[in-house]
A = this chain, B = another copy of it.
Amino acid sequence: MDDKTLQQLGEIESLKRTVARLKPAQTALVGSGDDAAVVSAKDSFLVSTDTLVQDHDFKLEWSTGFDLGFKAVASNLADIAAMGATPTVLVVAVVVPETTKISWLEEFADGLQAACDKLSPGASIVGGDLAAGDQLVVSVTVHGSLDGLQPVLRSGAKPGDLVAVCGSLGKAACGLALLQFGKDDLIRSYDDWVNAQLRPEPPINQGVVANQAGASSMLDVSDGLGKDLLRIANASGVAIEIYSKDLLGFEAMLELPAQSLDVNPRQWVLSGGEDHALLATFPPTAQIPRSFKVIGKVLAAGEPAVLLDGEPADVSGWDSVLGS
């Protein structure tokens, strides 16, 4: 079997074989292979970048190349969805050790493509960069289109608005706990939760739906519900109250693995990131999309800025430098 390393093949040949796994971009007027790609746009485009670092954001013992490609794309697509927009094109820079096998890179490319196909058909990879380093780093830059809509910022929440979530909360954190616990039989039994950590599937197309329904603010929950609620509260100059009774549905989804690990699932729901659920506020007059579950309401500014049943909520969460 021909499974050479990056060092044996060199950058150009390795990049060529990796790119060969990707579908050509429909929105690209000029695709990868030149100094830059040329992408069609109307009036404006959105851009966001996010990086995954080995042993900080993922472990190779847990993630295959496919998983990592999928997750890198999924988490970036969520940033565009959280603006109420549609993802268009992505560029992917990857730093890998020279001893990395080309088959790993090919699987990684397959994961990139699979996440586009599954989560945001029409989005595609138009460029990339491959470099050698000691540690695996994946840096994705994603672009999006508003198609005439206004972007949904973090700063638009107003007192009286309702707070709602689309997607799962705590599922990826539960999967991480299962992986950290390290019992193979549990990991196999609860593969759905483990997969939510390894290959999250945020509801990308619901970002535009929320925008069309009049969402006043939105972000994707990447660092924990409490911490991300605080981001909206701070950016909007408001306070936010959520209710534990409205979180029970999210907790119920985690009950079985939580029992096996003897953990209170609420902790995952409140502080777990990486599901990239969409967290939005809607004016009281809005017809909130059915995919969104109301969990609280926006109050006038006050301290603490985030409340759970009237008490200060846990707004700690994940810091990509400090950890959890």
Assembly stoichiometry (copies): 2
- Across the interface, do A47 and B7 meet the contact criterion of CB distance under 8 Å? no
Q: Does A259 contact B (CB under 8 A)?
A: no
Q: Does A11 contact B (CB under 8 A)?
A: yes
Chain B residues near A79 (CB-CB < 8 A): 35-36
- Across the interface, do A43 and B44 meet the contact criterion of CB distance under 8 Å? no
Chain B residues near A154 (CB-CB < 8 A): 33-35
Q: Does A209 contact B (CB under 8 A)?
A: no
Q: Does A308 contact B (CB under 8 A)?
A: no
CA distance A33 to B139 in the complex (A): 18
Q: Does A126 contact B (CB under 8 A)?
A: yes
CA distance A307 to B235 in the complex (A): 60
Chain B residues near A78 (CB-CB < 8 A): 35
Chain B residues near A131 (CB-CB < 8 A): 51-53, 56-57, 320-321
Q: Given A85-B36, A132-B56, does the pair A11, B320 have CB atoms closer than 8 Å?
A: yes
- Which partner residue on chain B sits nearest A132 by CB separation? B321
Q: Does A49 contact B (CB under 8 A)?
A: yes
Listed in ascending order, the chain A residues whose CB lies under 8 Å from chain B are: 6-7, 10-12, 14, 29-30, 33-57, 78-80, 82-83, 85, 89, 91-93, 95, 98, 126-135, 137, 139, 141-144, 146, 151, 153-155, 218-220, 235, 319-322
A-B contact pairs, 13 of them (CB 8 A): A11-B322, A29-B44, A29-B151, A33-B154, A36-B80, A38-B44, A41-B42, A41-B43, A49-B139, A51-B129, A53-B95, A93-B141, A95-B137
